[in-house]
Structures are given as C-alpha cells and as structure tokens.
C-alpha cells in the first residue's frame, strides 16, 4: 500500500490544483505525554515537507530535552553521577547504569561477585522486556490498533511489576554500584518469577493473535520505511533496527560483557528492514530475553544469598576505559577518562537514540505522512539519552 508509487501522469493532486508544497511541524510535545497521546512525545520536533501526503523532506530537530548531562556528571564525584545515569531512559536507564558501572570498574580494575553479575543480567533483560513491550504499545497506538496496544501495555505492566519486585524500585531504583549491586534479589521475586513469567508470555501469545497474525497490522507495516544494510552501517544504526535490516550484530554475542557468553540465546534478524521486520525482531527479542531471565534465575536460585558487592573503597586511578552494552535502544557505551584526582575528567555516553533520530530522513523521504509515527515508535527514540 504505502510503497505503491503514484501513477498520476499529471502529478500529485496538490500540484494539479496549484497548491504549493506544504510544510508542517509535528511536535514538540512534552515527554511525559508519550503514553497518552503520541509515540513521539518530547523526543524531537519534525519539520515535514509534503506533496499530497508524501514526505518530500524531513528535518529532525533534537535538543529540546538537553540538560547538560555530561557536564553535570563531570562536575561531581564518580558516585554522584549514578542517579543521573539511571535517568537516561525510563527502562533502558538500567542498561546505562550497568554500562557506566562496567566502565568505572574496568578503570578501577575491580571484579564484581558472581551473584552481582547474574543479577545485573537478569534485571537488564527484565528492563528490555518492559521497554520492548512499551515500544510495541506505542507502535500499535500509532497505527490505531487499540486492542493490540492494550495487550502490549499489559505486558509492559507485568514486566515492570517484576522489575519492581526484583530491584525494589523499578528502573530508577539506584540498583547498581561500583563493584556490584546494592542488594540481592528478594525471595519474593525468586519465588514469584515462574508465575509472572507465564503471565508475560501469555500477553506475547495474545499479541501474536491480535497483531502479528492480523493482516490489518502486517499489511499496514510491510514495506514501510525500509532501511537497507548499507545505510544502517553508514549511519551507525544499532540494536533492533540494525538487526531488522539483516545484520545480526548484538553486543551480547559479539563482545560479551557480564556473563552473556555463558547464556544460550539467539539473535533474531529481519530481511527487508521495514517496520514489520522491526516489530517482529522486537517480539522475538522479548521471547529470547524471557529465556535468558530463566537461565539467570536458575543460577541465582542455586547460588543463594550472599555477597553482592565488593567491600572497601573504590579508588579510580588515572586512565581511560570504554564499556559497551546492548541496551533495549541499541548499542549504548560509556567512555570515561580519569585524571586520578577523584573527579571525572570526561564521561561520554554514546546514545543509540541519537543515531536513530539522525537516520530518520533517509528512511522517511518518499513515505507517507502517517508512516512517520509507527516508524519513530519502532526506531525507539528516547529523549533523555538522545539529548542528554
């Protein structure tokens, strides 16, 4: 549908009627209304040039949520930065927290206890499940499939509940610290996981019946905003969008951090790099993450309670280090530079959303205006990390 080119020999309706090209501005809106009104809330403002409803030019204007994150965290101690780091995403903030801790830990040459490593993977995958469900919900909202949106939101809710039970406070729990985590998983979570897991799984099955096997949804998303692998590489696209374009690159497989090398999981990849492929990759990743959480849960149950963080003062010497994690938005990295005086010289966050906002015009020119919102939802722009 959306890929069918116009065949009117006389050009578009607008040009036949003598209307000039139209430019409209979508957004900006406040980030907090994302869930209620629009999947693009807050992240960016889109200046769209249109011929009829075809996008002839798109300018993405970011920076509305810029709050000087990097300068803020460089002005305090290394520990002071942690609460700011958690707030780089509503669920992917946990991934940022893990990446930052890993960077500082490799600088200070400290190794976390096994219990902390497996717990970090568990909560990271839970955050991914929650974030991926929210992305599916936003996509369904953008194409007007309210029943599928409700199913996805229910899945997100269940995953968030599990995350709260696991960390004691959801994504902003301040769960990680240098050398491990602040507290081990609660008995409440360890005992309740199998029941919660089957509920989360049920929503995935339900989502399949109302969305993936529903032609209203699949035909709507097939062929929309394709991203060819060459463009994905050239524009530094990562995460699910890169994999949907047929390149099965995943930090967890390629450069395993924590103990991902010991986990069994598949990296799904698409073929056409369109919106439908992006959605299918997200759905399959939820399934893979649930399998990973099961594996971590089994190991942690056998480890039992005990030490979760190294003791003693963490001394951060002079040096540089990089830590990269596969966040739910893509490849998220921290590059840290220390002078050895106790204050950070530089804390740089490589935010995947930044690159995904930049590539949008390449994907959207030629598409229809109403393809913009589902594509933005599936590319998963998170204002907090995009603008920093």
Tell me which residues in 93-112 interact with another protein (CB under 8 A): 99, 102-103, 106-107
Cα–Cα dist 184/11, whole Å = 65
Q: List the end-to-end C-alpha distance of the chain, in Å, as a whole number.
A: 37
To another protein, the closest distance from the beta carbon of 224 in angstroms equals: 22
Does residue 48 interact with another protein by CB under 8 A?
no
**Which span sits near another protein by CB under 8 A: 26-34, 182-190, 280-288, 330-338?**
330-338
Cα–Cα dist 88/127, whole Å = 13
To another protein, the closest distance from the beta carbon of 382 in angstroms equals: 15
| CB nearer another protein, residue 59 or residue 370 | 59
| CB nearer another protein, residue 200 or residue 258 | 258
Does residue 256 interact with another protein by CB under 8 A?
yes
For residues 334-364, one letter each, b for 16 or more C-beta atoms within 10 angstroms of the residue's C-beta and e for the rest, the string is bebebeeeeebeebbbbbbbbbbbebbebbb
Does residue 331 interact with another protein by CB under 8 A?
yes
Question: Can the peptide bond before residue 275 be classed as cis, meaning omega within 30 degrees of 0?
Answer: no
C-beta of residue 257 within 8 angstroms of C-beta of residue 356: no
For residues 76-100, one letter each, b for 16 or more C-beta atoms within 10 angstroms of the residue's C-beta and e for the rest, the string is eebeebbebbbbbbbbbbbbbbbbb
Does residue 299 interact with another protein by CB under 8 A?
no
To another protein, the closest distance from the beta carbon of 246 in angstroms equals: 12
State the DSSP string of 305-345.
Answer: S---B--SPPP--SEEEEEEEE-SSSEEEEEEEE-SSSSEE
To another protein, the closest distance from the beta carbon of 384 in angstroms equals: 13
Binding to another protein by CB under 8 A, coded x per residue (else -) over 66-95, reads: x-x-xxx--x--------------------
Number of residues that bind another protein (CB under 8 A): 47
**Which span sits near another protein by CB under 8 A: 2-10, 228-236, 274-282, 374-382?**
228-236
Place of tokens 């209304």: 33
SS3 45: strand
| CB nearer another protein, residue 247 or residue 314 | 247
To another protein, the closest distance from the beta carbon of 172 in angstroms equals: 22
For residue 61, give the H/E element and its range.
strand 54-61
Does residue 255 interact with another protein by CB under 8 A?
yes
User: 319 CB contacts (<8 Å, ≥6 apart)?
Assistant: 107, 337, 338, 340
Residues that bind another protein (CB under 8 A): 61-63, 66, 68, 70-72, 75, 99, 102-103, 106-107, 230, 233-236, 247, 249, 254-257, 319-325, 331, 333, 335, 337, 339, 345-346, 348, 350, 354-355, 358-359, 387-388
């Amino acid at each position: 549908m959306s890929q069918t080119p116009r065949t009117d020999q006389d050009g578009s309706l607008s040009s036949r009627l003598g209307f000039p090209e139209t430019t409209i501005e979508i957004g900006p809106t406040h980030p907090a209304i994302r869930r209620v009104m629009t999947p693009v809330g807050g992240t960016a403002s889109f200046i769209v040039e249109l011929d009829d409803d075809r996008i002839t030019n798109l300018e993405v204007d970011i920076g509305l949520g810029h709050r000087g994150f990097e300068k803020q965290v460089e002005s305090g101690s290394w520990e002071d930065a942690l609460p700011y780091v958690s707030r780089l995403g509503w669920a992917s903030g946990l991934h940022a927290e893990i990446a930052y801790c890993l960077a500082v830990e490799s600088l200070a040459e400290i190794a976390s206890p096994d219990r902390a490593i497996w717990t970090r993977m568990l909560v990271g995958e839970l955050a991914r499940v929650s974030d991926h469900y929210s992305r599916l919900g936003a996509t369904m909202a953008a194409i007007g499939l309210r029943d599928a949106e409700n199913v996805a939101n229910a899945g997100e809710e269940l995953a968030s509940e599990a995350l709260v039970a696991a960390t004691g406070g959801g994504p902003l729990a301040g769960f990680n610290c240098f050398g491990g985590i602040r507290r081990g998983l609660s008995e409440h979570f360890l005992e309740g996981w199998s029941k919660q897991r089957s509920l989360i799984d049920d929503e995935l099955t339900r989502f399949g019946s109302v969305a993936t096997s529903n032609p209203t949804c699949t035909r709507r998303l097939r062929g929309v905003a394709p991203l060819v692998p060459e463009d994905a590489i050239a524009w530094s696209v990562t995460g699910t969008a890169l994999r949907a374009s047929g390149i099965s690159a995943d930090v967890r497989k390629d450069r395993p951090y924590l103990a991902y090398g010991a986990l069994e999981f598949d990296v799904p990849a698409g073929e056409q790099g369109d919106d439908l492929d992006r959605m299918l990759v997200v759905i399959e990743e939820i399934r893979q993450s649930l399998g990973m959480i099961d594996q971590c849960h089994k190991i942690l149950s056998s480890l039992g309670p005990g030490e979760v963080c190294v003791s003693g003062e963490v001394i951060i010497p002079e040096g540089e280090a990089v830590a990269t994690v596969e966040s739910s938005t893509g490849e998220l990295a921290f590059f840290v530079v220390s002078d050895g005086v106790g204050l950070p010289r530089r804390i740089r966050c490589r935010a995947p959303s930044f690159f995904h906002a930049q590539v949008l015009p390449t994907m959207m020119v030629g598409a229809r205006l109403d393809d913009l919102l589902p594509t933005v939802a599936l590319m998963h722009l998170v204002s907090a990390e995009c603008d920093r």
